[in-house]
Amino acid sequence: MEIDIMTGSARWADTAERARQVEAAGFSGMLFTETSATPWMCITAAAMAAPSLTFTTGIAVAFPRSPMVSAAIAWELAENTGGRYRLGLGSQVKAHIERRYGMPFDPPGPRLKDYVEAVQACLRAFRGEEKLNHQGPYYQLSLLPDAWRPRSHEFGDIKIDISAVGPYMTRAAGEVADGIHVHPFHSIPYLQTVLGPKVAEGAAKTGRDPSNVDLIVPVFTVVGDTPEEQASFKERAKSQIAFYGSTRNYGFQFDMLGFEGTSAKLNERLKAGDVAGMADLITDDMLEHYAVTASWAELGPKLVERYQGTAARVVLYQAEESLRKDPSTIDKWAKVAEAVRSA
């Protein structure tokens, strides 16, 4: 099992410095989100600074870009990282796609599945395996003159991962994707009894082995050797769980563990502007399911106990934020990484 750090947009120089730090600490890689900036240039800066790390987009927003553009970017990054790049794609939400990007969204599940298959068709054409000819319900691509085909390289077998929560998207991942970016708001029962079977169901439709679909799992961590040290991690984890849980489509995560009605209560407080009150609804009992609480020495072994055999990569959701606040914690995070990678 590999262990990565999640990060977002930053100045290129700062990203390069963080990558060097992460590499020296023994982490496997860095996962880049796409929020206020695109991830590609930061990945480039990080890759040039830390040549042993693996880089993933978790996720890049698919629909605002042509599948050809996403495939071409992935191809270039794969070549220049020596194959240490995974393309993670997601649908985002309707309001952002339609009102921020001005692009079509519906239906997100079938559209994203077709998008992945279109990117895969582009990659096959780049590898010279076949002429480009993808004729899907949402994307049709059939022109790739030799002058516009990217130069060949030996790292063209690029893994494509998608974000998936609900039944359609998880089945689609089983059918066409190499991996799933699991939502950070999750429990082990969800992974084992909901997500896993749906992936297997999708894989069976296309004759694939579901074990070949990697789970990339962001994890909330409440870490520290004293309650005072854990307090800021706990506050951040509760706030994020409350924010994600206020989305009604994610409410089943509460319901399946006996916390019925929590999502509706969170949504009510969100509408009232009571952000602090939202976090107060997340109990310590809930945290035991949706976060890993441990001392520094226990965190690595606890991550292994909880996720080994289920996750291909665990991603520390709060580590980069912790390092910004207190760079001296890097040695503690390094021991966590060592414990996970050596297990």
Q: What is the pLDDT of residues 82-93, one digit of tens each?
A: 999 999 999 999
Contact 278, 314 (CB under 8 A): no
Contact 178, 119 (CB under 8 A): no
In this prediction, residue 249 carries a pLDDT of 87
Average pLDDT rounded to a whole number, residues 4-17: 96
In this prediction, residue 156 carries a pLDDT of 98
Kindly state whether residues 260 and 201 are assigned to the same domain. Answer: no
What value does the mean pLDDT of the chain take?
Answer: 97
Q: How many CB atoms lie within 10 A of CB 227?
A: 8
Q: Which of 251, 268, 290 is where one domain is finished? A: 290
The full length of the chain comes to 343
**Residue 225 reports pLDDT greater than 90:** yes
Kindly state whether residues 144 and 36 are assigned to the same domain. Answer: yes
Q: Which of 268, 290, 312 is where one domain is finished? A: 290
The DSSP element (H or E) to which 288 belongs, if any, is helix 284-290
**Residue 280 reports pLDDT greater than 90:** yes
Kindly state whether residues 275 and 185 are assigned to the same domain. Answer: no
Kindly state whether residues 279 and 300 are assigned to the same domain. Answer: no
Round to the nearest angstrom and report the end-to-end CA distance of the chain.
Answer: 8
Contact 237, 291 (CB under 8 A): yes
Give the residue from 204, 68, 72 showing the smallest Cα distance to 150. 72
| Tokens coding 47 | 């890759």
Kindly state whether residues 32 and 77 are assigned to the same domain. Answer: yes
Q: Which residues pair with 181 in a beta bridge?
A: 163, 216
pLDDT > 70 fraction of the chain, expressed in percent and rounded:
100
Under DSSP, is residue 37 helix (H, G, I), strand (E, B) or coil? Answer: coil
Residue 268: domain span: 226-290
> If pLDDT is split at 50, 70 and 90, which confidence band does 276 have?
confident
Question: What is the signed CA dihedral for 180, 172, 8, 158, rounded to 10 degrees?
Answer: 70
In this prediction, residue 248 carries a pLDDT of 87
> If pLDDT is split at 50, 70 and 90, which confidence band does 5 have?
very high
Average pLDDT rounded to a whole number, residues 158-164: 98
Kindly state whether residues 63 and 133 are assigned to the same domain. Answer: yes
Kindly state whether residues 12 and 109 are assigned to the same domain. Answer: yes
Kindly state whether residues 58 and 207 are assigned to the same domain. Answer: yes
In this prediction, residue 138 carries a pLDDT of 98
Kindly state whether residues 297 and 285 are assigned to the same domain. Answer: no
pLDDT > 90 fraction of the chain, expressed in percent and rounded:
98
CATH of the domain at 141: 3.20.20.30
Confidence (pTM)? 0.96
Average pLDDT rounded to a whole number, residues 223-232: 97
In this prediction, residue 169 carries a pLDDT of 97
- Report how far residue 154's alpha carbon sits from residue 160's, in angstroms, rounded to the nearest whole number: 17
Kindly state whether residues 208 and 116 are assigned to the same domain. Answer: yes
Contact 220, 240 (CB under 8 A): yes
- Report how far residue 305's alpha carbon sits from residue 287's, in angstroms, rounded to the nearest whole number: 17
Q: What is the pLDDT of residues 164-219, one digit of tens each?
A: 999 999 999 999 999 999 999 999 999 999 999 999 999 999 999 999 999 999 99
Q: Which residues pair with 141 in a beta bridge?
A: 134
Q: Which of 290, 314, 332 is where one domain is finished? A: 290
Q: What total number of domains does the chain contain?
A: 2
Kindly state whether residues 307 and 324 are assigned to the same domain. Answer: yes
Kindly state whether residues 144 and 281 are assigned to the same domain. Answer: no
